[in-house]
Structure 1
Amino acid sequence: MSHVIQFTPKRELSSQQNLNDFIVLARDNLTLWSDLEGFSWDAAKWVTTHKNIRFTNFEHVVVASRTAPNTNQLMHPAFAESAKAYLRYQHTLRPNKRIAREMTALRAMEFALRQDMAVPDITKFEHRHWCTAVSAMEPATSRQLVCEVMLGILKRLADLGILTVDPWFWRHPYVGRHGYDATNGAGAPAEVKAKKAPDQDALLAVADVFSRGESETLDDSDIMVTCITALLLSAPMRIGEFLRFRLDCLREDTDRNGELQCYLAYWVPKTHQFERKPIPMTMGDVAKEAIKRLGAITEEGRRLACYMETNPTKFYRHANCPSIPDDQELTPDQVVQALGFANRESCASFVRKHTSSYAMTGFTLNALWQLVLTEHLARNPHFPYQEAPESSTQAPLKMSDSLLCFRRLQLATTLSTSPVLLAPFNGHYYSGRLKIGKRLEAMNFFTRHAFETNKLKSHSLRHLLNRQARSSGVSLEMLTEWSSRTTTRQTRTYLHDDPAKAAAKGALALGTTQEQEHQKPVTNEEAALYGHGPFHRSRYGICRRSWRAGPCNKFAACLNCSELLMCKGDKLAAEIIQQDRDDLVRTYNAAQQEIANGERAASLWTEKAGPQIERLDQLLDILHNPDIPDGSPIEMAGADFSHEKVIVSEKAKAAGVQLLDRKELGLSYGEELLACLDLLREPDDA
């Protein structure tokens, strides 16, 4: 704009008159966003510079983006006019990127007004409405920031003579121990910080699919998800920063120790500077492979973007384009082929969008190119960039130079990739495939690869790297620089120091460390990371052994004791026995696999585990038998020991008599000797 129109309220006029003049000014005189495709003052959805917004009300903020909201899901028309006027006026004077937060604050204000008036009138906003709006924001994580924005809106409206109250001394309670730092930031409880870390199963699933790329062909969607995850695990980055990655963003240099160091070089928009982020040595080869795969699937996109930057007048001759002159009429099949659609129906819908007719006759490549250019301008409003330039001095990366230069529908699993249209990349392409929801189930990355449905947030990987680096001794200052932050205070939000480990470090520094410290039992989740092999799992931890050492003789000893008395209907006991049985089956299967691989000693494990599994199955059948009433005592004949045997053994030892172990006799002399002893013990019926 060549000049800014400042609204000057007339104090002698009523607040309602000032509001009406304010709306007229914003609607009829200000031109902000008017040049954007699809912008309309009366629309329920506004296209703005940085983000599209919808004027839905507080209760229906989560309405699906592709669904047109109903009347009861929108703000009241009277309040919507005030909200639109404020947003256009404020962003004309001071453009910013927090328009989504401003919309949240406006929704809360409208919600508060509707509690005691049929038509929410912003000029009648009072302190009681402020209290209602603040209370409505209590469940939100960003409640402190939203309330501060809301208070700023009210102050601005008061300065414009639209409010009759003075909000300058109003306060909200979300500060101190109720503020963001104490509830979700640096001082948040341990359980809150623990939830910010990524799920280990989700990471292992992504790693598994990434490794398949060495031996099989992955589709472009899987390459995008796995490779971006690999890069997010290479250095603490934000998903939006990937738009600044060039094809040669991964570079190498020698560090101060003379060793070769890989690093990512790119412009960080948040800090407004060029960064060189070192990559841990263990992730160097992974990062190289990720860059290589992403570059391969986006090569054709960069070629198309480079062609589009020349303002071409001729049709883009892609690999499957019909080889005919530009002014020769095409057949319908050639139209489909030129536009790159999979079938006539999809192509006809595209043609109708621009011509109001499904007919695909009479077109030449020159005519089709005009349709392509129209669609290109609509889908790429910031071309040759993928995002809006924040200033003329520091323009974003061009699509032709970008590592992530995708074509339209390239990441779709069932639709064909467009050879003539580009698609600006945004973080939703990545996060949308790692979310959980009914609409997202078909495209969920984990579900499509036969894993359990899971979710993964890009920012959780940033938390993980910060914590791992901190636990490895990286200083707070170096971690702040590595993560592209301005202050160490922000870094503390990402850290989650274990109090026990912190105490251990303090004890070590003070010289008060105990020689022996008890370790916590291994959980089932931690045990799962070991896989299945020559060890026993129990609710107490893991007994680590080798295949050749054989299984422990005392494993599940309680279930082999003749003195064990159980109660039918004890759900806790049944669950524990079921868990022991499942763990033993996994060990049994692992032993069989080792036998197949040539490890003969693993047969000792199958001989031990097989009968034990049968015994547990019998016991579970009894515990789950509906014919046996709950409360019935259950006693099984012991196969290992009993208290009477212990007493007899002690008496024999005192008398100088040696009792031979039956198992040792069998190993030394064979089963034939044991059979003879059993015959001698049988009563003589003759």
Structure 2
Amino acid sequence: MKNSQGSAQSMLNKYLGRLERLINEYREAELAQFEGHGGKKAKFDDLVWYHVDPNTGRRTRFLCGVHGRKGKGNAGNHPIYALPYPYDHLIKVWIIETTNTPLSVNEKKTRTSVARKLLSLMDGDLYEQSECTITSLNLGARSADRLRPFLAFCAEKGVMRKVNLKGSDSRDRTGHATFDNTLEKLPDIQAVLALADIFSTVFEYVDEHGSLRPGKEIKIHDALVVTFGTLSLASPNRTSAEIPVLPKQRLHCYSESNGEPVYYLDWIGSKGYGNNKNHILAVLADPIKKAMNFFYKACEPARILCRFYENPDQSLKALLGGFEIAPELKRNLNLAQRPNLFTLGYALGFYGANDCVPILKEGVDLTSTYKSQRGHFFEKKPIYSLRPKDQLSVSQTRSAALAGLPHLFGYANMPKVFSDKSVVSVEEVQEWWIAFYRTSILPEFPLSFSSGESSIKLKDAMFCFLGSWLYGAPESVGSGGKVFQKTNYAVVPLASLGASVLTRLVGQGRYTTSIFQDYGFSSELILRPHSLRHLSNTLADLSSIPVEIITAWSGRKNPEQTHTYIHTTHDEKASRVSAILNSPDIDRRDIRVVSQNQLTQTTNLPASVTSTGLCTQNLNVTPCNYLNDFVSQCFMCPETCHIAGDVKTIEFFEKDLSFQTLRLESVACDPRLPNSQAMRQWYLIHSRNTHILSMLNDLMKSKPVGTMIRYSNKNSEFSLTDLNTKIITKVACALPDFEARLKGIIEDKTARTASDANPELRSLLSSFGLSEGEV
């Protein structure tokens, strides 16, 4: 009924008419990368969508109803939470567009959330909104930045007028206010000292080899929290994006000629920065070494489980590797045999040495017995001797006489699973559990992601946690929102691990106290992990470490970004001006330096040497703010000049060209390409720019050495200048028809999709020697 009313309105209103056509266009698209609840194919009437990344399998939940409804799983999927038509469908269109952009998962969810908030709170239709009406909704301090892309998309599609949304800015922009604001990003030094004290307390009974003293205990989640904090102090990393995906390793050490040792960890980069060997401060090497050695050993049971989930057909010896089984358990096991889920759990120490569960006696058929008599047909069997065909009762309560599953999974009252059966075999339980874990708890398995886009195979992760370690025993009250999340067999996703650390450091949540409060410190103390990144950058700057080295150490590409993390005083900065202006001697024979001198003398223009040529912008007066989508950052900048014969730049451009070509090929093969306008637009623009890079490289190799080459994007041509004769030659940039190329790729992909649409029919026809076209 609501759709028919909407259609009538759209005939009278151009904005609503365009919106309905836009929605119909997206409804007809194949939504292969989206699922509804329960893994079903996504529908436009669903109020919860799951985006499944076709490359990694990462599953992201998007709410599509009225803003304000939270929860997990199917929460928010009731019809009462639906937005009014057509905005309940417009939000799906925006989700499709947003998931096809190169943003982090958190940013995608935030952008769709703020759009949903606008559609929930706005008065009237979207086309009636203005900057004034949107601002009056008070969507939040940072919402304007996240909302602009949505408003721009809607305006581009003609479903509303263009709105120039400005962020509220009542800040004091004086120099002192700006500096005071940057100081607030630094952590409270008392919190840093308190963290050190807590580290000593938590690891009091752990030796330098990572072994816990016999008879002593350690709170493993507290150990995780202080280790994350100490790693953030020892290296300016992104705490939630990088530490959770650290590979399993011990602290590495390197020195030359008996010099001072350099400590480092193998680090997975984020935000486009590659993997690297990340330097660890020597002053913190001892606590880092102790913590890494501890987790190297302590997390091995969870890693072994992950190896089993990937391949259950390995022998117990192959799965365990160097893991030491407790002697009282080892004597009951045959390491050469292939374990099942529960005999593996026994080897990992989940049960007592003599724990038993009731199993159905061999040859008994329960269908011919009365329920009151079934107890006579079960017998106790040690967990270590369970076999795949052994039959377990499906009783859900541990106190029941025949209960086996609650004891095996660690629950007093286990969630209902096998409600249609009286007994279930160990083999069936194992198959169900592995499938359940890989679909409901960690769909991207064997990978696991941090809060950013970095990932690692979970079996290789340094911080690999069992569910009971993070959420408490299954009988405990508290967190553990997903079903079976608290059992020992549920290895925790790395993003959840990182989020739990952040919560403990700042004491967020109604039931969560900070780790500082738990160890007797003031409730005022908190430690925002990103503030430690600011602290390490500032301390490095105070130690006169060059900004280029701080940039690399922090995992950034652009030194300009590093300055926002350095909070030294103006006096301290002024004392270094002479060092900056009087740079050390450089190689005067370098072709860029020779050309720089020629250009300055010939044109009387400023010229600075860059990594790929020269820059004619006066960087002392106007700092560079040019950005592109290439590794070679100056490429296509109107102020940049390249020098023919510059061998280092030519080699660099060739590597960049290879990388950009691979990116284009990856997008061309992506199944989302036919349905994503954003991806198609990127492919056209990037194909053009990559072709220009190829032409530039050819000119640099073929033209006389020293020729100045400059590209004009406005005229789509290269200007070649001979600095000796002052002669300028224009070379037009002939571009192929990339739109035709893209159309061919999409048509070919669509044809192949259609040919694979009904494999059963095609197989049947081929058995008669026919094809679909011949029917």
TM range (shorter): 0.5 to 0.7
Residue 653 of structure 1 is matched in structure 2 by none
Match 2:418 to one of 331, 349, 355: 355
Match 1:435 to one of 484, 503, 506: 506
Q: How does 1:27-46 map to 2 (within 5 A)?
A: 27-35=27-35, 38=38, 40-41=42-43, 42-46=45-49
CA 1:271–1:253 in structure 2 vs 1: closer, same or farther (change >3 Å)? Answer: farther
Match 1:410 to one of 455, 461, 469: 469
Q: Secondary structure at the match of 2:51?
A: coil
Q: Secondary structure at the match of 2:266?
A: strand
Residue 145 of structure 2 is matched in structure 1 by 145
Q: How does 1:561-580 map to 2 (within 5 A)?
A: none
Task: Output one character per residue of 1:646-670: Cα deviation in whole Å (capped at 9) or x when no partner.
Answer: xxxxxxxxxxxxxxxxxxxxxxxxx
CA 1:432–1:388 in structure 2 vs 1: closer, same or farther (change >3 Å)? Answer: closer
- The 8 Å contact of residues 502 and 529 in structure 2, kept in 1 or not, is answered as yes
Q: Secondary structure at the match of 1:48?
A: strand
Q: Does 1:375 align with 2:436?
A: yes
Residue 131 of structure 2 is matched in structure 1 by 130
Task: Output one character per residue of 1:397-447: Cα deviation in whole Å (capped at 9) or x when no partner.
Answer: 211111122222321245476332322111212112223345233x54233
CA 1:468–1:390 in structure 2 vs 1: closer, same or farther (change >3 Å)? Answer: closer
Match 2:494 to one of 418, 425, 436: 425
- The 8 Å contact of residues 65 and 88 in structure 2, kept in 1 or not, is answered as no
Residue 386 of structure 1 is matched in structure 2 by 448
Distance in 2 between residues matched to 1:258 and 1:144, nearest whole Å: 53
Shift of 1:241: 1.0
Q: Does 1:269 align with 2:259?
A: no
Match 1:205 to one of 182, 190, 194: 194
The one-letter amino acid of 1:336's match is: P
Distance in 2 between residues matched to 1:461 and 1:469, nearest whole Å: 12
Distance in 2 between residues matched to 1:38 and 1:183, nearest whole Å: 51
Match 1:315 to one of 341, 360, 372: 341
Distance in 1 between residues matched to 2:14 and 2:536, nearest whole Å: 57
Q: Secondary structure at the match of 2:449?
A: coil
Shift of 1:379: 0.8
Task: Output one character per residue of 1:33-86: Cα deviation in whole Å (capped at 9) or x when no partner.
Answer: 32576465434443335643334656x48x566995699987545423211122
The one-letter amino acid of 1:399's match is: L
CA 1:64–1:318 in structure 2 vs 1: closer, same or farther (change >3 Å)? Answer: closer
Q: Does 1:91 align with 2:99?
A: yes
Shift of 1:157: 2.5
Q: How does 1:408-557 map to 2 (within 5 A)?
A: 408-415=467-474, 418-426=487-495, 427-441=498-512, 444-453=514-523, 454-499=525-570, 501-502=572-573
Residue 329 of structure 1 is matched in structure 2 by 391
- The 8 Å contact of residues 302 and 400 in structure 1, kept in 2 or not, is answered as yes
Distance in 2 between residues matched to 1:225 and 1:198, nearest whole Å: 16
Distance in 2 between residues matched to 1:373 and 1:171, nearest whole Å: 51
Shift of 1:485: 1.0
- The 8 Å contact of residues 335 and 363 in structure 1, kept in 2 or not, is answered as no
The one-letter amino acid of 1:26's match is: Y
CA 1:288–1:259 in structure 2 vs 1: closer, same or farther (change >3 Å)? Answer: same
Residue 82 of structure 1 is matched in structure 2 by 90
Residue 663 of structure 2 is matched in structure 1 by none
Shift of 1:13: 9.5
Structure 2: 5+ residue runs without aligned partners? Answer: 1-9, 53-57, 206-215, 314-338, 352-382, 394-401, 476-485, 582-775
Distance in 2 between residues matched to 1:366 and 1:160, nearest whole Å: 55
Distance in 1 between residues matched to 2:103 and 2:272, nearest whole Å: 18
CA 1:74–1:33 in structure 2 vs 1: closer, same or farther (change >3 Å)? Answer: same
Q: How does 1:208-287 map to 2 (within 5 A)?
A: 208-212=197-201, 213-215=203-205, 217-238=217-238, 239-248=240-249, 250-254=251-255, 258-287=259-288
Distance in 1 between residues matched to 2:307 and 2:431, nearest whole Å: 18
- The 8 Å contact of residues 108 and 136 in structure 1, kept in 2 or not, is answered as no
CA 1:44–1:440 in structure 2 vs 1: closer, same or farther (change >3 Å)? Answer: farther
**What TM-score does the superposition give when structure 1 sets the normalisation length?**
0.60
Distance in 2 between residues matched to 1:202 and 1:210, nearest whole Å: 12
Aligned length: 466
Q: Secondary structure at the match of 1:493?
A: helix
Shift of 1:488: 1.9
The one-letter amino acid of 2:529's match is: S
Match 1:158 to one of 155, 160, 167: 155
Shift of 1:231: 1.0
Shift of 1:330: 3.2
Task: Output one character per residue of 1:348-392: Cα deviation in whole Å (capped at 9) or x when no partner.
Answer: 22xx0x3347x8x6233112213312321221101111139999x
- Sequence identity, in percent? 20
The one-letter amino acid of 2:197's match is: D
CA 1:143–1:486 in structure 2 vs 1: closer, same or farther (change >3 Å)? Answer: farther
Shift of 1:463: 1.3
Distance in 1 between residues matched to 2:509 and 2:267, nearest whole Å: 37
Q: How does 1:645-660 map to 2 (within 5 A)?
A: none
Structure 1: 5+ residue runs without aligned partners? Answer: 1-9, 511-686
Residue 368 of structure 2 is matched in structure 1 by none
Distance in 1 between residues matched to 2:580 and 2:158, nearest whole Å: 62
Match 2:426 to one of 354, 365, 370: 365
Q: Secondary structure at the match of 2:149?
A: helix
Q: Secondary structure at the match of 2:252?
A: strand
CA 1:89–1:27 in structure 2 vs 1: closer, same or farther (change >3 Å)? Answer: farther
The one-letter amino acid of 2:535's match is: L
Distance in 2 between residues matched to 1:299 and 1:37, nearest whole Å: 34
Q: Secondary structure at the match of 1:288?
A: helix
- The 8 Å contact of residues 328 and 364 in structure 1, kept in 2 or not, is answered as yes
CA 1:294–1:22 in structure 2 vs 1: closer, same or farther (change >3 Å)? Answer: same
Distance in 2 between residues matched to 1:372 and 1:187, nearest whole Å: 59
Aligned-residue CA RMSD in angstroms? 4.0
Distance in 1 between residues matched to 2:95 and 2:64, nearest whole Å: 11
CA 1:183–1:217 in structure 2 vs 1: closer, same or farther (change >3 Å)? Answer: farther
Q: Secondary structure at the match of 2:122?
A: helix
Q: Secondary structure at the match of 2:560?
A: helix
Shift of 1:278: 1.2
CA 1:193–1:249 in structure 2 vs 1: closer, same or farther (change >3 Å)? Answer: farther
Structure number with larger C-alpha Rg: 1
CA 1:201–1:267 in structure 2 vs 1: closer, same or farther (change >3 Å)? Answer: same
Task: Output one character per residue of 1:321-344: Cα deviation in whole Å (capped at 9) or x when no partner.
Answer: 4422221223644323322x1x43
- The 8 Å contact of residues 389 and 425 in structure 2, kept in 1 or not, is answered as yes
The one-letter amino acid of 1:485's match is: R
Tell me whether 32-41 or 325-334 shows the greater mean CA deviation: 32-41
CA 1:402–1:13 in structure 2 vs 1: closer, same or farther (change >3 Å)? Answer: same
Distance in 2 between residues matched to 1:431 and 1:398, nearest whole Å: 22
- The 8 Å contact of residues 255 and 261 in structure 1, kept in 2 or not, is answered as no
Q: Secondary structure at the match of 1:203?
A: helix
Q: Secondary structure at the match of 1:397?
A: strand
Distance in 2 between residues matched to 1:30 and 1:326, nearest whole Å: 42
Residue 182 of structure 2 is matched in structure 1 by 193
- The 8 Å contact of residues 112 and 130 in structure 1, kept in 2 or not, is answered as no
Task: Output one character per residue of 1:613-644: Cα deviation in whole Å (capped at 9) or x when no partner.
Answer: xxxxxxxxxxxxxxxxxxxxxxxxxxxxxxxx
